[in-house]
Structures are given as structure tokens and as C-alpha cells.
Amino acid sequence: MTHLGELSDLLLGALVIGPVGFFATSLDNLLILGGLLAAGWKRSAVSYGFVLGNVWVMLAALSTMVFGLFIPAAYLGYLGVVPVLLGIRMLIQTHDDNPETPAPGGLMAVALITFTNSPDSLIVFGPLFIESEWLAVVGLVIGYMGCTLIGLALVRFGMAQGAIAERAQHFAPRLIPWLMILVGGYILWNSTTDLV
């Protein structure tokens, strides 16, 4: 392949395919991120946890290049157990305390929420990585992680707006546990059908 062809693979991955893949598979993560911020979770923990969770997603997708033949993709759906359990835990903590009090978590909790809510990203990017040249893979990772930062900035900006933040703070403590359970259920029951 020529240097121009390699450069076009890098640019296509970074500017088109990576961003499209991110937003197609991560809008639910961005909604959950906004909900966590509205529920009173620490901004730094949510921000760094979201980025760390997406780094894990890319590392897991990259690992498919090596382990793709040994790990059946159908097992990715079992990751849905984690958000279901986190949602149930949040509901229990909310009912034990005050219903208005959120059950905030730290950086690792947000990273785990992001990662376990991302089998669709793994399903999209894993095969792309397997069939792409190394420079295209670099472009895909750059595009995905760049959109991680853009999405984070958009959510943080939206939550800084008074009216949006007030509404979100009112509903988020009640909504986030149920969203986690629904998302986990969706992952458990739908991930294997996405593979067909």
C-alpha cells in the first residue's frame, strides 16, 4: 500500500468511521453519563471514569485482533449482568436512605458502567480491527477516543445549563437505577441477536 493510501486509511478511520461508530454505539452511555452528573456524582469521577471505561472498550476491541478466534462473541452479552446488579444496588441504597439522595460512585464505578454498557461498541469495532490495516486501526482508535472527549464535553456543557440541570437533578436519582437495569437487560437479551 502506498503512503497516500495508508494516510487515507488513517484519516478515514479518525474522521469518519471512528466517530460514526462511537455515536452509533455510545448515545446510551452519554445519557447515563448525564444522569450520573445530575444525580450528584462527582464531576471528576464521572469524567475520568467515562474516559477510562472507553479506553477499556478500545483495549478489549483491540484484543479481538489476537483473541477473536478463541472467545465467542456471544459471551459478550453476559456483561449485561453488571449494570443490572449496579442498578439493583442503587435502588436498594436509595430506598434505605432518602429517595432524593443519589448513591454516588467513584471513578471505577463509572468506568465499569461505561465498559459493561458497551458490548455494541465491541461488536462494531472488534471486527473492524480484525479486518483493517494497522494504520486504519490507529485512525479508528483516534476517532473513537476523540469523540469520547467531545461527547463528555457536550454532556458536561448541557448539565451546566440551569434549566437542564434542574430537571435532570430532579429525575436522575430515580431514573438512573432503572436505566442501568434496562440497559443491562437489553445487553443480556439482545447482544447475541445483534451478531446474527
Report the distance separating Cα 88 and Cα 37, nearest Å: 19
Report pLDDT for 114: 92
> Which amino acid, residue 139?
G
* Average per-residue pLDDT for the chain: 76
Task: From 149, 137, 136, select the one nearest 54 (Cα to Cα).
Answer: 149
Residue 163: all three cell numbers together? 434549566
Residue 119 in contact with residue 187, Cβ under 8 Å? Answer: yes
Residue 188 in contact with residue 74, Cβ under 8 Å? Answer: no
Report the distance separating Cα 157 and Cα 177, nearest Å: 23
For residue 130, name the pLDDT band (cuts at 50, 70, 90): confident
Residue 31 in contact with residue 83, Cβ under 8 Å? Answer: no
Domain ranges of the chain: 3-194
Q: Which three-class secondary structure state does DSSP give residue 25?
A: helix
Output the 3-class SS for 122-161: HHHHHHHHHHCCHHHHHHHHHHHHHHHHHHHHHHHHHHHC
Report pLDDT for 117: 85
Report the distance separating Cα 171 and Cα 148, nearest Å: 25
> Exposed (0-12), middle (13-18) or buried (19+): which is 62, by Cβ within 10 Å?
middle
Residue 126: all three cell numbers together? 472488534
Residues contacting 153, CB < 8 A, separation 6+: none
- How far, rounded to the nearest angstrom, does the alpha carbon of residue 67 sit from its chain's CA centroid? 21
Residue 9 in contact with residue 139, Cβ under 8 Å? Answer: yes
Of the two residues 50 and 119, the one the predictor is more confident about is 50
What's the pTM?
Answer: 0.68
% of residues, the chain, pLDDT over 70: 65
**pLDDT at residue 58 greater than cutoff 70:** yes
Residue 80 in contact with residue 185, Cβ under 8 Å? Answer: yes
Residue that has been written with the C-alpha cell 448515545 in this structure: 27
